[in-house]
Amino acid sequence: MMLLTLVILPLIGGFLACWSQRVHQDAPKWIAAICTLVTLAFLISIKLASNIEDLELWLVDEPRAWIPRLNITAHLAMDGLSFVLLLLTLLMGLVGLSSAWSEINQHRGFFYGNYLWTLAGIIGVFLAMDLLLFFVFWEVMLVPMYFLIAIWGNENRRYAALKFFLFTQAGGLLMLLSIIALTVIHYQQTGILSFDYQVLVQSPIQSELAKWICLGFIIAFIVKLPAFPFHTWLPDAHTQAPTPASIILAAVLLKTGGYGLLRFVLPLFPESAQFWAPLMMALAGVSIIYGAIMAFSQTDLKRLVAYSSVSHMGFVLLGCFSFNFYALQGAVMQMLAHGLSTSALFMLVGLIQHRFHTRDLNHLGGLWHTLPKLSAMGLFFGVASLGMPGMGNFIAELLVLLGTFKQAPIFAIVASSGLILAAVYSLRMIQKSFFGMNLKLETSLSDEKSSDNSSRDGIDNSSADLGAKHHSDAHTRYVTDLSVKEGLTLMLMCLGLIVMGLHPQPIFTLVNSSLMEILSLIQSPLQPESPLFEVQL
């Protein structure tokens, strides 16, 4: 019941948050914060209760019957890979709540209810070992996220929410068809009817349809990752979503795609994964370069960070299909580091928008003089995102490139160009946002100066002068730097990235057993120590 409790806590908390608005307007956010903290504490207690010296793969394994007639089980299990992603989910859930604390002022009960239900669905995805149960949680997390975007988003929120839902729902439907086909073929070959991962992985299907079933799973997961050309929903969803939803979307929801590739695609379809590996690695390279180029061309800060996610998550796709232990380590580290750095950038964009009512780079500039603390945080997370040594992002991308170079040097060389492009768009964002002159303030001051000159020439411009002074006064009076809560949240995320960059071994210790198990399952049809593609020069 321990793992089931992890799912039930945010589900119940969501209902309590919805109901509590009748009692007090601020009650929902307190209930959401307490529920998330309790769930996080319970997760840590589960990990501490397990024997850390035990080398068994599964820390907790809880199988139970659900639909016995079809042998469908409510099977939940947690290993090191699941644990680190659950930890990321709940920590970033707290970051999203910190951002929502002052931003969400309407329908608070329903907002925090949907927020907690989204977290419950994500937790279920990382724990489910029965494929049909996994599909149920996969769908559960989409519906409340749709409402978060459609109700509390920006001006084109309904279009973005519908696009997000259609893309992910289409991928989910394809995954459901693939699950059914996999189970039917497995039953025909073994006489065992089961949707359980631990049963299916023991005897991978041998069929001409295996590669197409595998492709169905792959497409479902890379839509969520997302990878080119299935990425088009992401910039719209991020641009229109409220800041807390953007944080959860970038930090956790995208990681369910990478988790699905590691947990299900590679172990269940070792030979078919080899067949699709060249295409997937090519798509990864395209995603890295395309996302970086599109990020450079954006003037909207949110769209810039959204396209940078497409580029960064391309490294996850590349690492997954490199069939190399270091590359798999890098893919996991990239999911964690990207979760911290990108969610922090979205939080900073939300703070800038709240203060200046714009995200346009052409209307920003000079923020370092006005908001030095916010600008310092923006500078830190900007350079962390581009892969500065000493940060978790650098370790992740380095491991992916090293592992990929051993298997497929051409793809590693192509992907490495993404590091250069990341530096270009990140430094452009930093320069245009935090340095230079604020164009709006500069215009208001020049208007004020011209009105003073006109008045000396005998021209009555009192109304223009009053407007310029009011604009300047309002700018200096109401724009405040980071609050204590905002600063503390961002500082803790800074610390997390630094720890991952300087001492990543504890994370590797947690996930190594899972990654070695995945690699052992794909080593029999593959020989990952030899290059996948021979290149003659």
Q: Where are the domains of the chain?
A: 269-532
- Band (pLDDT 50/70/90 cuts) for residue 453 is very low
Residue 18 vs residues 28, 36, 134: alpha-carbon distances, Å: 7, 15, 26
pLDDT tens profile 312-326: 999 999 999 999 999
pLDDT at 522: 82
Contacts of 259 (CB under 8 A, 6+ apart): 81, 85, 125, 126, 335
CA distance 532 to 537: 16
Mean pLDDT to the nearest integer, 137-149: 92
105: pLDDT strictly greater than 60: yes
Nearest to 105 by CA among 30, 24, 25, 35: 25
Structure tokens at 85: 């992603």
478: pLDDT strictly greater than 80: no
- Fill in the amino acid letter for 363: H
471: pLDDT strictly greater than 50: no
532: pLDDT strictly greater than 50: no
pLDDT tens profile 249-273: 988 999 999 999 999 999 999 889 9
The count of C-alpha atoms lying within 13 angstroms of the C-alpha of 424, restricted to the half-sphere facing its C-beta, is 14
- Fill in the amino acid letter for 209: L
CA distance 336 to 126: 14
SS3 266: helix
Query: Helices 108-127 and 142-152 meet at what angle, rounded to 10?
Result: 150
What is the DSSP annotation of 379-418? HHHHHHHTT-TTSHHHHHHHHHHHHHHHH-HHHHHHHHHH
Map tokens 């995320």 to a residue. Answer: 493
pLDDT at 461: 40
Instruction: Mean pLDDT check: name the lowest of 87-101, 284-298, 477-491.
Output: 477-491
Mean pLDDT to the nearest integer, 504-530: 77
Of the ranges 32-41, 145-154, 297-306, 350-359, which is most confident?
32-41
The number of residues in the chain equals 537
pLDDT at 438: 58
534 vs 196, residue with greater confidence: 196
Mean pLDDT to the nearest integer, 470-491: 68
- Band (pLDDT 50/70/90 cuts) for residue 45 is very high
Contacts of 354 (CB under 8 A, 6+ apart): 102, 103
Mean pLDDT to the nearest integer, 459-475: 39
The count of C-alpha atoms lying within 13 angstroms of the C-alpha of 512, restricted to the half-sphere facing its C-beta, is 9
Helix (H) or strand (E) holding 66: strand 65-67
**What's this model's pTM, rounded to 2 decimal places?**
0.88
356: pLDDT strictly greater than 90: no
Contacts of 499 (CB under 8 A, 6+ apart): 392
Say what the alpha-carbon torsion angle 469, 433, 478, 237 is, to the nearest 10 degrees: 120
* Portion of the chain with pLDDT greater than 90, in percent: 50
Under 8 Å between Cβ of 126 and 85: yes
Say what the alpha-carbon torsion angle 29, 35, 37, 43 is, to the nearest 10 degrees: -150
- Fill in the amino acid letter for 457: D
pLDDT tens profile 113-136: 999 999 999 999 999 999 999 999
- Band (pLDDT 50/70/90 cuts) for residue 190 is confident
470: pLDDT strictly greater than 80: no
pLDDT at 477: 44
Structure tokens at 495: 């610390």
452: pLDDT strictly greater than 80: no
SS3 65: strand
Whether the ω angle into residue 506 lies within 30 degrees of 0, i.e. cis, is no
Tell me whether strands 76-79 and 72-73 are parallel, antiparallel or unpaired. unpaired
Q: Which residues make beta-bridge pairs with 77?
A: 61
Under 8 Å between Cβ of 327 and 404: yes
Map tokens 């590669």 to a residue. Answer: 211
pLDDT at 457: 43
What is the DSSP annotation of 67-126? EGGGTEE--EEEEHHHHHHHHHHHHHHHHHHHHHHHH--SSHHHHHHHHHHHHHHHHHHH
Mean pLDDT to the nearest integer, 95-119: 89
153 vs 437, residue with greater confidence: 153
Q: Which residues of 391-426 are buried (b: 16+ CB within 10 A; e: fewer)?
A: bbbbbbbbbbbbbbbbbbeebbebbbebbebbbebb
Residue 400 vs residues 26, 161, 314, 316, 489: alpha-carbon distances, Å: 45, 33, 10, 8, 29
Mean pLDDT to the nearest integer, 86-112: 89
- Band (pLDDT 50/70/90 cuts) for residue 155 is confident
SS3 290: helix
Say what the alpha-carbon torsion angle 19, 25, 28, 33 is, to the nearest 10 degrees: -160
- Band (pLDDT 50/70/90 cuts) for residue 65 is confident
The neighbour count for residue 48, using CB atoms within 10 Å, is 8
pLDDT at 381: 93
Structure tokens at 280: 């997937």
